[in-house]
Every structure is written in structure tokens, then in C-alpha cells.
């Protein structure tokens, strides 16, 4: 800290004489740390292009991509994406990469890694999925979604090669495979110093797995996509372990024992180095702070204290520890050298992080929070985070899920914190029918606590009305959850698009 910063800290503490002293110190810490932060990551959810011609061109690309297999239809193979990389000149080999798999926390962890690398003045490319509102969110350069014009140009540049591969393969390239090709091409064209790449699903046969990442990150593994990846954490881990390459460093978040065993066995087979959360790195301490939390993290090279993270929930603190270890490994800290990275740079990076749709506050009076939890593990983390960080006297849930998820498990995770739940559905074909969802919700919550509003706009209005209806519940709030798509559509309806 500079000489002025402790004084500012003391002034804020002294001004909080009417508050609990410990809370005053926590608030002061978060406020002074925020003054040290760099420019926050952009809202990261761009609106439609203002230029009608650009908007038209983007819609044409979106229409073209929509004719391809969607992300839920898979033919487990990397043959098509390998063929595309070949005709494009292997753009994915033009830069080092950090590859991220796991069940929950991948996108938030990717955003943190991106912010850390950017703070050390590296040009970054980030590829994540799915998007919250705009398809352009999936490909980011230097911490911001790719411009719509550049997205269209990239698509048009690789389109002839995509068609060439289509003609030579049994199946056309899928929606996700084309986007992956676009991302790798855009990163090479930029050019970036490092790419942060999130798998779409699994690992071994995921389209992203044509990179040879020097760092492989595995966020917590739980049951999801069991029809495609396996019915136990160990079976799912076996698929996800496919991103671990020879000689890489593996950053392993806390895992179920059987999943960890699979990962460690794969690491031994390919002579990879493993750093485990709770052993080689982890969260030393955390305190709830205004607008987020204050952390002390133990990295591969040492401790980093007074880190303000403007995200809610213990799960985000663990994501931060994983992200920090990944960046240390990328810079060779731990295996090659024992040192800490510049702590002020680390603080500045974490304080700038944004993760739209992850316990994101989008409205006040009443407070409306969005969270993209879509499986039981994610729902439990969300429920814990909102209980810890928000003092709601009464919480109304708005839930719209995909039909292919463990919906009962998700509802059961939220049951203890929802006074009432408004069930709805988003606009996609994958959405569970509102009446079908309501039948499940009644079994979990009871008939008296369930409201059915098939239209999402009506569901939001109903939930906000319930939150406002009695003065004794002035501290009521609304949590919109169940699907990234539901959250994205709610974000638009609430004026954040």
C-alpha cells in the first residue's frame, strides 16, 4: 500500500463509530482495497450492436450457426475440429494456454485468471460458454467481449474452411466446434500472449481439446451431464482428465475422493505436476465485506493477504485460490522458483473481477439477484452464498430450468432459503415446461409455496410483487436461477442488456 492508504483506512474506520468495530474494519478494508483496483472488468454482457448494418450481419451469422448441431447434440470426437485446425494452419499453437474443466465454477475461474494475466500486462484471449445474453461474450480479447464487427469478420474469414471440412466429414462441424475454431483463430490474429480456455463439456473429446495447455485446471467435479459423462464423480473425472497433457501442471480444486484419485492417476501417467487445493494452495481466511469478501490466499509461492474479491460466496473464494495457483503455475512459480507474485498487482486484478449472472445484484428495492446455478451442487453453493452475504428477511425464488437437469435436486437445494417459489420457463426448446416444473416444485415446497407463471416477465413481476407486498418484509429479495438462459433473459427484462 502507498503511505496514504493506511490513513484512508483509519479515517473510514473512525467514521464508523456507530457500528460494530469488526464490521467497520471489514467495510473499511473493502473500500480502501477497491480504491486500489484497476478498471473493473467490463459488464461483459454487450447489448445488440447500435449500427443496424452490423446488427444485421451479426444476426446472419447467428442464423447460420443455428443451422448446425446445438451444444446438447454431440458425436464424441475431435476429428472435425482437428481437421479445421489443420486447414486453418494450427492457430491454437500460436500462444500458450490455460485449459479449464470441472463441473461448476469454470467461467468465474476463467474470468479471474484472465484478470490476473491482464494485470501482469499480458494480452489475453478467453473462451467460455455458454453466454448469458450475447454470443460475442464467448470470445474475449483483453478482458472484453470481442466486438460484433470482429466476430462477424472472424466468422467470414474461417467460413470457407469450415465448409471445406464439412464436405470431408461424416457430420458437419457443430455450433460449438465452429465457435471454438473462431476463438482460436481470433486469438492468433490478435495476437494474444495467453489463452484462457473453458471446456464446453467433459474434456477428452471436447472441441477445445486440440490445445496443449501448459496448465490444466480442474474445478470441483459433481454430477452433471450424467447421460454423456458418467454416473459417478470418478467416471466424470476420467473424461475430464483428458485435458491433462504431458508435462503440464494440474491445478486441482477440492474434489470427491474418487474423482481426485482418477486425476492423480492420469497425472502420473503423463508425468504432469499436481498442485492440490488444501495441500499446496488454498484459502487461508475469508471475511464477508461490503460488495464481496476479503481473502487471504495461500498460493504456490506464499501467502497473499488483503485481497478484496467483489463476488459473493465461499465457492468464489475457492475459485480465486484456484485461479491464483493457475497463474502462478503459468509463470513458473512453485515448480521452478519459490517466490510470490507482486501482491499489489494480485490485489488490483482480483478487485476488478466481474462475473455476470453469478450472485449478481441487478436491482434494488427490492433486491433482485441473478445466479446461473443449474445443478444441485451449484444450487447449494448459491444458497450458501446468498444466506451468508445478504440479510434477506424473506426470499422469493424465480426458477426456470432445462429439462435435462437434476431439477428435483436443484429445487431441494433451494427449498430451505425460499419462502415461496415462482416457477417459469425460458424461451428455448430445452426449457422444462412450467407446469411440469410446478408439479416437481409442489412435491418439494408444498402447494402453498408455489406460484406458476409460464412467461418469464410475468414471473419476475409476480416475484417482485410478493417481495414488496408486506411492509414487515421490507428486507425481502428475489433470486432468479435455474439456468444460464433464464438468467440471461431475466437480465434483459430487468434492463441490464
Instruction: Give residue 104's pLDDT.
Output: 87
Cβ proximity of 193 and 108 under 8 Å: no
Torsion angle of C-alpha atoms 201, 203, 209, 213, degrees rounded to 10: 120
Grid cell for residue 284? 487461508
The residues that bridge with 452 in the sheet, in sequence order, are 423
Helices (H), 190-255: 226-229, 233-240
Counting Cβ atoms within 10 Å, is residue 53 exposed (0-12), middle (13-18) or buried (19+)?
Answer: exposed
Instruction: Give residue 337's pLDDT.
Output: 65
Cβ proximity of 301 and 341 under 8 Å: yes
Cβ proximity of 400 and 493 under 8 Å: no
3-state class (DSSP) for residue 454: coil
Instruction: Give residue 203's pLDDT.
Output: 85
* Closest residue by Cα to residue 459 from 473, 441, 471, 443: 441
Taking the C-alpha atoms of residue 18 and residue 315, their distance in angstroms, rounded to an integer, is: 32
- Strands 303-309 and 450-452 come out as unpaired
Q: What is the pTM of this model?
A: 0.86
Instruction: Give residue 46's pLDDT.
Output: 79
Cβ proximity of 105 and 211 under 8 Å: no
Taking the C-alpha atoms of residue 470 and residue 158, their distance in angstroms, rounded to an integer, is: 57
Work out the number of other CB atoms within 10 angstroms of the CB of residue 48. 14
Work out the number of other CB atoms within 10 angstroms of the CB of residue 168. 10
- H-helix or E-strand containing 161? helix 148-168
Grid cell for residue 326? 493457475
Cell 454416473 found at: 231
Taking 70 as the pLDDT cut, the residues of the chain under it are 1-44, 71-74, 223-231, 335-338, 470-474, 496-497
Taking the C-alpha atoms of residue 422 and residue 437, their distance in angstroms, rounded to an integer, is: 10
3-state class (DSSP) for residue 486: helix
What is the distance in angstroms between the CA of the first residue and the CA of the last residue of the chain?
37
Grid cell for residue 475? 428486507
3-state class (DSSP) for residue 181: helix
- Beta strands, E only, 279-389: 282-289, 292-298, 303-309, 360-363, 367-370
Amino acid at each position: 500500500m502507498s503511505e496514504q492508504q493506511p490513513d484512508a483506512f483509519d479515517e473510514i474506520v473512525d467514521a464508523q463509530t456507530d457500528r460494530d468495530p469488526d464490521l467497520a474494519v471489514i467495510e473499511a478494508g473493502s473500500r480502501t482495497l477497491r480504491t486500489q483496483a484497476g478498471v473493473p472488468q467490463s459488464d461483459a454482457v454487450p447489448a445488440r450492436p447500435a449500427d443496424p448494418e452490423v446488427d444485421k450481419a451479426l444476426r446472419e451469422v447467428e442464423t447460420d450457426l443455428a443451422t448446425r448441431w446445438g451444444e446438447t447434440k454431440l458425436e464424441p470426437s475431435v476429428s472435425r475440429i482437428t481437421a479445421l485446425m489443420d486447414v486453418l494452419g494450427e492457430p491454437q499453437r500460436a500462444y500458450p494456454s490455460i485449459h479449464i474443466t470441472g463441473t461448476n465454477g469454470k467461467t468465474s475461474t476463467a474470468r479471474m485468471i484472465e484478470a490476473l494475466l491482464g494485470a501482469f500486462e499480458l494480452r489475453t484471449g478467453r473462451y467460455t460458454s455458454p453466454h448469458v445474453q450475447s454470443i460475442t461474450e464467448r470470445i474475449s480479447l483483453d478482458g472484453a467481449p470481442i466486438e460484433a464487427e470482429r466476430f462477424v469478420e472472424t466468422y467470414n474469414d474461417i467460413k470457407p474452411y469450415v465448409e471445406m471440412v464439412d464436405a470431408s466429414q461424416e457430420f458437419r462441424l457443430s455450433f460449438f466446434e465452429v465457435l471454438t475454431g473462431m476463438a482460436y483463430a481470433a486469438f492468433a490474429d490478435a495476437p494474444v500472449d495467453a489463452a484462457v480456455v473453458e471446456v464446453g463439456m467433459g474434456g477428452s473429446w471436447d472441441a477445445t481439446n486440440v490445445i496443449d495447455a501448459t496448465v490444466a485446471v480442474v474445478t470441483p467435479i459433481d454430477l452433471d451431464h450424467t447421460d454423456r459423462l458418467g454416473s459417478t464423480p470418478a467416471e466424470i473425472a476420467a473424461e475430464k482428465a483428458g485435458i491433462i497433457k504431458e508435462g503440464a501442471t494440474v491445478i486441482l480444486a477440492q474434489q470427491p475422493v474418487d474423482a481426485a484419485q482418477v486425476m492423480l492417476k492420469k497425472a502420473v501417467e503423463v508425468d504432469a505436476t499436481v498442485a492440490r487445493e488444501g495441500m499446496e494452495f488454498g484459502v487461508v481466511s475469508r471475511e464477508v465485506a461490503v460488495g464481496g469478501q476479503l481473502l487471504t490466499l495461500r498460493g504456490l509461492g506464499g501467502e497473499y493477504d488483503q485481497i478484496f474479491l467483489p463476488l459473493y460466496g465461499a465457492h468464489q473464494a475457492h475459485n480465486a485460490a484456484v485461479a491464483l495457483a493457475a497463474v502462478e503455475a503459468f509463470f513458473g512459480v512453485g515448480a521452478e522458483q519459490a517466490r510470490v507474485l507482486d501482491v499489489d498487482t494480485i490485489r488490483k486484478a482480483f478487485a476488478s473481477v466481474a462475473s455476470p449472472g453469478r450472485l449478481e445484484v441487478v436491482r434494488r428495492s427490492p433486491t433482485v439477484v441473478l445466479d446461473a446455478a443449474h445443478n444441485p451442487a451449484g444450487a447449494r453453493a448459491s444458497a450458501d452464498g446468498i444466506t451468508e452475504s445478504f440479510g434477506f428477511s424473506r426470499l422469493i425464488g424465480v426458477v426456470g430450468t432445462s429439462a435435462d437437469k437434476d431439477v428435483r435436486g436443484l429445487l431441494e437445494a433451494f427449498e430451505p432459503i425460499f419462502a415461496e417459489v415462482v416457477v417459469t420457463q425460458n424461451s428455448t426448446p430445452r426449457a422444462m415446461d412450467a407446469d411440469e416444473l410446478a408439479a416437481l416444485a409442489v412435491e418439494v415446497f408444498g402447494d402453498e409455496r408455489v406460484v406458476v407463471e409460464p412467461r418469464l416477465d410475468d414471473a419476475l413481476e409476480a416475484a417482485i410483487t410478493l417481495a414488496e407486498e408486506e411492509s414487515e418484509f421490507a428486507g425481502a429479495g428475489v433470486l432468479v436461477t435455474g439456468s444460464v438462459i433464464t438468467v440471461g433473459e431475466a437480465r434483459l427484462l430487468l434492463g441490464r442488456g
